[in-house]
């Protein structure tokens, strides 16, 4: 296994301290975000069967995301209109600073390969060419970025120490151990939760949430 594989696919998450509403919060820094356009979440054409689109199988996206255990690497969001309605169903993957647009995802059989592709890039530690099954479903919607490259625009100082002790391992929210109402013990460590639902999910399968 390469250093990149260890860094992006199996290592614990890193946090950044963010100040909001007069308080400091620790937010998990992600590798990316998968945004799935769906009629159920806004006024859009994706999932609109009357317009020739297939229903968007939100459950399958959720199941694949949970099964891969990449919650602390790539976030999954269901959203309203992403814009390019003519080529829906649409999905936008933002990963390693790159936006990858998927079009015409009108077959549930295409959903697992999207997550295979994400996991392959997490292991490689970089954006790579799509597999053959997905190649015809990807297009460039955004103009190329300027040649200057990446420039951080906000808070970027990472904390690899105590910040992780405050994370709800299920939803990754910042939880104060001093005031947390829900907690569980696992392998000699105490985990704190923001809500009973997170504690229940953790207790059911702790290995799904512990790196």
Helix (H, G, I), strand (E, B) or coil at 118: helix
Q: What is the mean pLDDT of the chain?
A: 83
| pLDDT at residue 162 is higher than 60 | no
Q: What is the CATH number of domain 3-14+30-139?
A: 3.40.30.10
Peptide linkage before 89 cis (omega within 30 of 0): yes
- The pLDDT tens digits for 3-17 are 444 456 566 677 888
Whole-structure pTM value: 0.78
| pLDDT at residue 143 is higher than 90 | no
CB 35 within 8 A of CB 105: no
CB 179 within 8 A of CB 23: no
Q: What are the extents of the domains in the chain?
A: 3-14+30-139, 167-208
Highest mean pLDDT among 39-43, 82-86, 146-150: 82-86
């Amino acid at each position: 296994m390469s250093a990149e594989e260890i860094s992006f696919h199996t290592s614990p998450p890193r946090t950044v301290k963010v100040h909001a509403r007069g308080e400091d919060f620790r937010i998990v820094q992600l590798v990316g975000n998968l945004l799935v356009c769906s009629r159920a979440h806004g006024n859009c054409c994706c999932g609109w069967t009357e317009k020739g689109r297939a229903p968007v199988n939100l459950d399958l996206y959720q199941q694949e995301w949970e099964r891969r255990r990449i919650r602390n690497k790539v976030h999954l969001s269901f959203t309203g209109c992403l814009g390019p309605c003519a080529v829906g169903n649409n999905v936008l993957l933002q990963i390693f600073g790159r936006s990858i647009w998927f079009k015409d995802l009108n077959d549930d059989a295409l959903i697992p390969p999207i997550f295979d592709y994400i996991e392959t890039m997490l292991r490689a530690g970089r954006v790579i060419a799509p597999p053959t099954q997905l190649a015809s479903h990807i297009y460039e919607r955004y103009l190329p970025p300027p040649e200057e490259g990446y420039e951080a625009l906000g808070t970027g100082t990472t904390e690899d120490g105590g910040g992780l002790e405050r994370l709800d391992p299920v939803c990754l929210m910042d939880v104060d151990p001093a005031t947390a109402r829900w907690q569980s013990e696992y392998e000699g460590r105490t985990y704190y939760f923001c809500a009973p639902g997170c504690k229940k999910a953790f207790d059911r399968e702790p290995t799904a949430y512990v790196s």
